[in-house]
Amino acid sequence: MTEGQQIIHDLSDLTCTNLMIRLKILLRKTPPGSAIEFMIRRDQKDTIEVPFSRTGYDVRINRIDINRYQVEMKKNDEGQQQ
């Protein structure tokens, strides 16, 4: 893997509860200013889109197929500086 490349996790086999837990772990391990990318199903999209957007994350979702989405999620640092 070269610099600038990112791993895209396939989380589509997880239940919605396990997905939320896994995302919180991945986000906690991610350096500030970095994003995580992952693949999910439609029902998972509905589960994470609004909750993470409302809690300070920039969530970008691209539809890949009928029931498959690629998501990029990053901590929104706006207003966090003091």
Does residue 47 contact residue 20 with C-beta atoms inside 8 Å? Answer: yes
Which 8-state DSSP code applies to residue 74?
A: E
Mean pLDDT estimate for the chain: 85
Question: What architecture is domain 8-75?
Answer: 2-Layer Sandwich (3.30)
Question: What pLDDT was estimated at residue 82?
Answer: 37
Percent of residues, the chain, with pLDDT higher than 90? 54
Please tell me the pTM assigned to this model.
0.80
Whether the per-residue pLDDT at 70 is higher than 90: the answer is yes
Sequence spans of domains, the chain: 8-75
Question: What pLDDT was estimated at residue 64?
Answer: 94
Whether the per-residue pLDDT at 30 is higher than 50: the answer is yes
- What band does 65 get if pLDDT is binned at 50, 70 and 90? very high
